[in-house]
Amino acid sequence: MSEQTIAELGEFALIDLVRGRLGTSDYVLVGPGDDAAHIATADGTYVTATDILVEGRHFRRDWSTAADIGRKAVAANLSDINAMGGVATALVVAFAAPGDTPVKWVADLIGGMVEECDKVGAKIVGGDMSAADQIVISITALGDAERPVTRSGAQVGDQVAYAGTLGLASAGYGALSRGFRSPKAAVDEHRAPHPPYAAGPAAAAGGATSMIDISDGLLADLGHVARASKVAIDLDPASFPILDAVQTVAGALGGVDPLRFVLAGGDDYALAATFPTSASLPEGWTRIGVVKAGEGVTVAGAPYEGGTGHKHWN
As a whole number, mean pLDDT of residues 138-150 equals 96
Task: For 36-56, give the DSSP string.
Answer: SEEEEETTEEEEEEEEEEEBT
Q: What is the pLDDT of residues 92-135, one digit of tens each?
A: 999 999 999 999 999 999 999 999 999 999 999 888 899 999 99
Nearest in space to 168 (alpha carbons), one of 69, 63, 237, 268: 268
Are 38 and 29 in contact by the 8 Å Cβ rule? The answer is yes
Q: What letter would DSSP give residue 302? A: B
**Residue 195 confidence class, pLDDT cut points 50, 70, 90:** very high
DSSP letter at 237 equals G
Which residue ranges are tagged as binding site for Mg(2+)? 35, 50-51, 80, 128, 213, 216
Overall average pLDDT of the 297-301 stretch: 97
Q: Are 218 and 272 in contact (CB under 8 A)?
A: yes
* pLDDT single digits (tens) 46-71: 999 999 999 998 999 999 999 999 99
Judge whether 94 and 128 are in contact, CB under 8 Å: yes
If you average pLDDT over residues 299-311, what whole number do you get? 82
| Binding residue ranges | 35, 50-51, 58, 80, 127-128, 151, 213, 215-216, 267
How far apart CA 106 and CA 279 sit, in angstroms, is 46
Q: Is 33 helix (H, G, I), strand (E, B) or coil?
A: coil
pLDDT digits (tens, 9 = 90+) for 15-40: 788 788 777 778 888 888 787 789 88
Question: Residue 314 has what pLDDT?
Answer: 60
Question: Average of pLDDT values for 178-188?
Answer: 94
Q: What is the pLDDT of residue 33?
A: 79
Residues at the binding site for substrate are 58, 267
When pLDDT is averaged across residues 81-90 and rounded to a whole number, the result is: 96
Is residue 271 exposed (0-12), middle (13-18) or buried (19+ Cβ within 10 Å)?
Answer: buried
**Residue 103 near residue 69 (C-beta atoms within 8 A):** no
Is it the case that residue 290 has pLDDT exceeding 60?
yes
Q: Indicate whether 1 pLDDT > 60.
A: no
How does pLDDT run across 232-264, given as a tens digit for each residue? 999 999 999 999 999 999 999 987 899 999 999
Pairing, β 270-275 against β 210-214: antiparallel
Average confidence score pLDDT of the chain: 92
In contact, 151 and 87? CB cutoff 8 Å: no
Q: Residues annotated as binding site for ATP?
A: 127-128, 151, 215
- What pLDDT sits at residue 2? 67
pLDDT band at 268 (very low <50, low <70, confident <90, very high): very high
